Amino acid sequence: MTALIPSPTKALRQRGFTMVELLMAMAIFAIGMLGLAALQVVSISQGAGGRLRGTAAFLAHSVLDRAAAEGQVTAAERQANTNGLPNSTTSWTFIGAADAVAKADGAALLFDINGRPIDAADKTTPVVFTATWFSRTGSVNVGTRSALQEFVVNVTWQEANPKKGTALDTKAISVSRYVRI
């Protein structure tokens, strides 16, 4: 049997890659890297947006919790009094006079990027979140010494939109809850 021995000229021609193959490989690699870079930009943007939405939801529920805490005080007073009315005639921040009358927008509460409250007079800390609230007409039942009122909190903020370049979109979240007053 005779063994097949490649010719020396054929072996020399098949060694390595051609210039066209190298250029094609580099082009495919470059396109892949550009895709990864675009994915990274969108990923960072979506991560920041998710953080802002989470903080806004936390702030909205925090404001509702404060309204509910004020309502618990007046609800306890209603239960303690035989006439079913609260003792406090003070005007509470959220529930007012605890009379279940609808209230217009409350004063805007301002917060920084971490959700910390900012005084309206503070001009150095950038305001990121603005929370406003209002209440709808509720019901007072003197016989059972109970009252309920719906509170609505709206939180707004500015969020970057990668499709618009440097333009910011205004985003909002709205949360409501019935509170005993």
* 8-state DSSP, 16: S
Inter-residue contact 84 to 181 (CB < 8 Å): no
Tell me which H or E stretch contains 54: helix 19-80
Whole-number pLDDT of residue 35: 93
Amino acid at 128: V
- All residues at 6 or more sequence positions from 144 whose CB lies less than 8 Å from its CB, including other chains: 84
Tell me which H or E stretch contains 133: strand 129-135
| CA 50 – CA 104 distance, rounded (Å) | 30
| CA 63 – CA 175 distance, rounded (Å) | 10
Whole-number pLDDT of residue 114: 86
Whole-number pLDDT of residue 23: 94
Q: Where are the domains of the chain?
A: 18-180
| CA 103 – CA 107 distance, rounded (Å) | 11
* 8-state DSSP, 107: P
Mean pLDDT by 10 residues, the chain (181 residues): 61 73 94 92 82 91 85 74 64 63 70 85 87 82 76 88 78 89 78
Whole-number pLDDT of residue 7: 61
178, 93, 60, 149: CA torsion to nearest 10: 10
pLDDT digits (tens, 9 = 90+) for 8-20: 565 556 677 888 9
Whole-number pLDDT of residue 29: 95
Whole-number pLDDT of residue 113: 85
